[in-house]
Amino acid sequence: MKTIIIYSTKYGCAGELAYLIQKELKGECKIVNVMKSSVPPLNDYDTVILGGSLYIGRIQKQLKKYVNEHLDTLLTKKVGLFLSAGDPKAAENEVVRKNVFPKALIEHAVAFDVLGYAYKFDKMGFLDRFIVKRVAGLSENVTEYYENRIKAFAEALTR
């Protein structure tokens, strides 16, 4: 089984999650940050995992653009979708679901979950620090990855 993980991230959390997923998978697995590299053609891959960080109910525009441009091909693959989000139930929220991935892709996916979050104040700009302080009530770095969810996510993709 050949897998590709395509992700987008602003401060690195979704990338860290991509590598944690990769550790749980069997077989060949390539990881691509769509914000920094071009994605190879998907015809060589059986499984495609897509993930991004949730900001104000949305993922990064580069990932959303990639998904929309390749939706027909993605719907022919085994697909997993993951988010980095402070709310562990964000993937179940209908408003979020409408804003992150197309409905057809969500319905096609064999796995879709929030796998953890990180607030990296040392990497954030002033505005992001201000928003996180006001909304989340945090003022220092916090990282939490949900190991059980990551394992279950990977298992769903290897069945």
Q: Which residues of the chain are under the pLDDT cut of 70? A: none
Instruction: Give me the pLDDT at residue 69, please.
Output: 97
- pLDDT by residue (tens digit) across 28-59? 999 999 999 999 999 999 999 999 999 878 89
Instruction: Give me the pLDDT at residue 23, please.
Output: 97
The pair of structure tokens assigned to 17 is: 């999650």
The pair of structure tokens assigned to 147 is: 């190991």
Instruction: Give me the pLDDT at residue 31, please.
Output: 98
Distance CA 74, CA 136 (A): 34
Q: In the chain, what are the domains?
A: 2-117+146-158 (3.40.50.360)
Write the CA distances from 126 to 52, 87, 122, 132, integer angstroms.
22, 22, 10, 10
The pair of structure tokens assigned to 136 is: 């989340």
Query: Position 23: which residue type?
Result: K
- Evaluate whether 85 touches 117 at the Cβ level (below 8 Å): yes
